Amino acid sequence: MQNYFMKNLVQRSQAVLQLFVGLGGVVCGAIMIGNPSGTLMQFPPDMLKESPFRDFLIPGIILFLVNGLGQIVAGVLTIRRHPHAGMVGAVFGLGLMIWIFVQVNMIGGRNVIQYSYFLFGVIETSLSFLMNKNQI
């Protein structure tokens, strides 16, 4: 009984986290694609001066596809208890941590949200390993 409860808790927590991150990635990525200047997101114009990008189009596409749609797909796999949901979740959790690491190194750590999303990546990856270990 206790093992079933823990598996359920891990699976539900993972799905909620993946869908939350995915929805945010889709919305923010779409805004960045639609307005690459960054004005709708209230990004300062000099934010990208140390990066290889001149506007937010390419980062917006990556955000939309990887941390948006990719996380949503991972969330659906988790909900359906797909046999590869744990592995897919680990890949996207690590991808989220890499995204934030690169972001902070390119534009600086400007906001607590960046560090929160890095923590979300750590949690997602950790839950994925639990899912793989327990075959949830």
Tell whether 87 is covered by a domain.
yes
Tell whether 31 is covered by a domain.
yes
Tell whether 71 is covered by a domain.
yes
pLDDT tens readout for residues 89-114: 999 999 999 999 999 988 888 789 99
Model pLDDT, residue 135:
58
Tell whether 1 is covered by a domain.
no
Tell whether 30 is covered by a domain.
yes
How many domains would you assign to the chain?
A: 1
Q: Which residues contact 133 (CB under 8 A, 6 or more apart)?
A: none
pLDDT tens readout for residues 37-62: 999 999 887 888 888 999 999 999 99
Give the global pTM.
0.90
Tell whether 5 is covered by a domain.
no
Tell whether 42 is covered by a domain.
no
Tell whether 7 is covered by a domain.
no
With CA atoms as reference, report the closest residue to 103 among 68, 70, 56: 56
Residue 85 CB burial class (10 angstroms; 0-12, 13-18, ≥19): buried
Backbone angles phi, psi at 13, to 5 degrees: -60, -45
Give the range of the structural domain holding residue 103, as residue numbers without chain letter. 19-35+49-134
